[in-house]
Chain A
Amino acid sequence: MNLTLKVWRQNNAQAKGQFETHQVVASEHMSFLEMLDVLNETLISEKKSPVVFAHDCREGICGTCNLVINGRAHGPQKGTTVCQLHMRAFKDGDTIVVEPWRAAAFPVIKDLMVDRSSLDKIIQAGGYISVNTGQAQDANDIPIGKDVASQAFDAATCIGCGACVAACPNGSAMLFTSAKVAHLGLLPQGEVEAEARVQSMVNQMDEEGFGMCSNTGACEAECPKEISISNIAMLNRQYMASVLGSKTGV
């Protein structure tokens, strides 16, 4: 299939970027990233600088690949990352616009690759359990209700790719932060520090320059792991409860 690609090129965070148009011949069995590999091989053979894009596992679990394709974070397919998006989702002759995640908290490193360490800093602020909880427990060693376990697991599927921030018209990281707060706070090992955690993670999120949630639901629609915005409501509840009525003096 013959495609016209409009790819965002930008030298660094300070530079002004622009689109560059390329023609690519791809097979419909290729993943989107493999199609970009084809483009880069052509560019290299022509002694031009290849398009920089982030990628790692290429099986949808690491959260490294992050592209906005035709205005949609991770492309038009629901519930998948870019690496799981195949060229069969497009038609021969299509023009595809590829942009990096856009948010002030995600400065562009080069071309399509952005710096997402602001998400790491939210995790460093409280997205962990301070005590060593030892080896993985034997099944049913700590009884946890099925509903709670499922809810925690659904939140824990967050791969931290930042699509929520990219899709949000406000560049808000509420879905990411809420998923982490939910997955740690719902289970007994993480519950102990839940009150302090929610405050420090929200404070860090604000400090990193992410926007405020206006409940548009764009994050939920674009999340490759389909994490629900009911987690954001839970974050709101827990934050207010922690500030207004904490048992632990935070």
Chain B
Amino acid sequence: MSWLTKFLTSSIGRKLIMSLTGLFLILFLVVHLAGNLQLLINDQGSSFNGYAYMMTHNPLIKVIAFGNYFFIILHAIQGIMIALANRKAKGSKYAVSTNATASWSSKNMAILGTLILAFICIHMGDFWYKMKFTDQLAMVSVDGMDMQVKDLYSQVKNTFSTWWLVLIYLVGLATLAFHLWHGFQSSFQSLGINHKKYTPFIQSVGKIFSIVIPLGFAIIPIIYFADAMEWINYFS
């Protein structure tokens, strides 16, 4: 076995891959949220539709998108393989189990991750698939562009006017929050980054991140649903 294969298949190497792909996906969440928040601009979706066109046509973004798909799949497959190997290494379970010694999140990363993967499939079916592979979306013009683009904004509006789809999104985001609660700080530990100088800082940032980012995403379906139900009048 070459040194590289041996390294990447060792217990530490496999966790290193989880850590690096996880950190990439954490960065992706930030960019994704920044883009999505344009849905809250009150301009009939003009800026969001323009952004959606750029994200599906810019060559650099296309390359990064393929990297992103690859890292999601790698993180998922690697995570499932690790969870299965760890279950085998544990052998049998204790009759009495306790949560006194480790957080619930940290012990359920594989279940949380599988739920997130299922959510990603539903989410991509709702938007990504319809945007890229179908002609279901109407064509609209946007400010500052002399051509018509696909109206993803209206698709968002439609989706988030259905209560059970909104519920799926909120549950998906709560699952993400629990996954990040452990995952953020754990990725640094796997990289060997642990020092009394900055580890408390990393842990605090991780906890804030795991609440703020899913909450930021959750605001969008909540506002759209409340607006559709006419509980609030956000898009006047």
Least CB distance from A137 to B in Å reads: 29
The 8 A CB mask of B159-193 against A (1 = contact, 0 = none) is 00000000000000000000000100110011111
In the complex, what residues of B have CB within 8 A of residue A68's CB?
Answer: 94, 96
In the complex, what residues of A have CB within 8 A of residue B15's CB?
Answer: 212-214, 236
Q: Verify A210–B89 contact, CB threshold 8 A.
A: yes
**Known A72-B98, A72-B101, A236-B190; contact A217-B88, beta-carbon cutoff 8 A:** no
In angstroms, Cα B191 to Cα A78, docked, is 29
Stretch at the interface among A33-41, A82-90, A199-207: A199-207
In the complex, what residues of B have CB within 8 A of residue A221's CB?
Answer: 100-102
A237 at the interface (CB under 8 A from B): yes
The 8 A CB mask of A206-241 against B (1 = contact, 0 = none) is 100111111111100110000001101111111110
Contact count band on A? 35 or more
**Known A215-B182, A236-B192; contact A19-B106, beta-carbon cutoff 8 A:** no
B91 at the interface (CB under 8 A from A): yes
Quick one: which of B11, B92, B100, B195 has the most chain A CB within 10 A? B11
B82 at the interface (CB under 8 A from A): yes
Of A6, A105, A229, A236, which contacts B89 at CB under 8 A? A105
In the complex, what residues of A have CB within 8 A of residue B194's CB?
Answer: 229-230, 232-234
Q: Verify B186–A214 contact, CB threshold 8 A.
A: yes
A111 at the interface (CB under 8 A from B): no
Look across to chain B and name the residue whose beta carbon is closest to the beta carbon of A232.
Answer: B189
A189 at the interface (CB under 8 A from B): no
**Known A72-B100, A97-B95; contact A215-B12, beta-carbon cutoff 8 A:** no
**Known A217-B106, A221-B101; contact A233-B192, beta-carbon cutoff 8 A:** yes
**Known A202-B10, A215-B182; contact A243-B89, beta-carbon cutoff 8 A:** no
Q: Verify A216–B192 contact, CB threshold 8 A.
A: no
Least CB distance from A181 to B in Å reads: 12
What residues of chain A have their CB less than 8 Å away from a CB belonging to chain B? 6, 19, 68, 70-72, 97, 99, 102-105, 167-172, 174, 202-203, 205-206, 209-218, 221-222, 229-230, 232-240, 243-244
New A-B contacts (5) at CB < 8 Å, excluding given A211-B88, A212-B15: A215-B189, A215-B190, A234-B192, A240-B192, A243-B3
Instruction: List 25 interface pairs A-B (beta carbons < 8 Å), by A numbering.
Output: A70-B98, A102-B90, A102-B93, A103-B89, A103-B91, A104-B91, A167-B101, A171-B91, A203-B6, A211-B89, A212-B82, A213-B11, A214-B82, A215-B182, A215-B189, A216-B107, A216-B182, A217-B106, A222-B101, A230-B195, A233-B189, A233-B193, A234-B192, A235-B12, A238-B192
